[in-house]
Structure 1
Amino acid sequence: MERDDFIEMLAREGFQTTVLVEREPDAFLENHTHAFEAKALILEGELTLDVAGKKTRYQIGDVFHLMTNEAHSERYGPEGVSYLVGRKQA
């Protein structure tokens, strides 16, 4: 998906805040939750999300979606990752 299309989609779906997130190469975050719904577009690099034991790898152009308080861990690729994320408060 293209960045402009993604931003339009977020607006249509009621995501109030958009943030650019950048993570270091080969880093990770252990299992955690967020107090908001998140939908993100990968701009550079890659990341793998582990949600309920299911690991999914996301690369440039892919979109991932996490519900409010959905437990997950994150692992970033060898080049790190940069993504644009929309956040919606529950």
Structure 2
Amino acid sequence: MDLPNFDEFQQKALAAGYDEVIEREWAPNTVLDTHAHPFGVHALLTQGEMWLTMNGQTQHLVPGSIFELKPDLPHAERYGAEGATYWVARKNA
């Protein structure tokens, strides 16, 4: 899969109304229990793997996977043995 570069991702996200775009890196085997964020999320996994659980469903995400979260949506995150990196656009309230 051909991934965009960070600048392309950032430009598209800002044009779509997101107001913050960052890169997040997670250590191997990190587990984040159920939590929520006050901002909306549009993210692209670029390295590693993760499992995202929301609404009772777990998705296995690999490089090239996109995920979105509405503000205040409870979810849990688990990262693989290599950790993970993703680019995330946030839409703050």
Normalised by the length of structure 2, the TM-score is 0.89
Q: Following TM superposition, by how much is the alpha carbon of 1:54 offset from its aligned partner in structure 2, in angstroms? A: 0.2
Find runs of 4+ consecutive structure 1 residues off by over 3 angstroms: none
Mapped partners of 2:89, 2:64: distance in 1? 15
Distance, in Å, in 2 between the alignment partners of 1:66 and 1:5 is: 21
Q: Which residue of 2 aligns with 1:67?
A: 70
Does residue 27 (structure 1) correspond to residue 47 (structure 2)? The answer is no
Which letter maps to 2:23?
L
Aligned residue pairs total: 90
RMSD value, Cα: 1.2
Cα deviation code 1:67-90 (max 9, x no counterpart): 100100000011000011001012
Query: Which has the higher mean CA deviation after the structures are superposed, 61-70 or 9-18?
Result: 9-18
Report the alpha carbon displacement of residue 5 of structure 1 after superposing the two structures with TM.
4.3
TM-score, scaled relative to structure 1: 0.91
Q: Given residue 79 of structure 2, which amino acid in structure 1 is its aligned partner?
A: Y
Amino acid across the alignment from 1:2: P
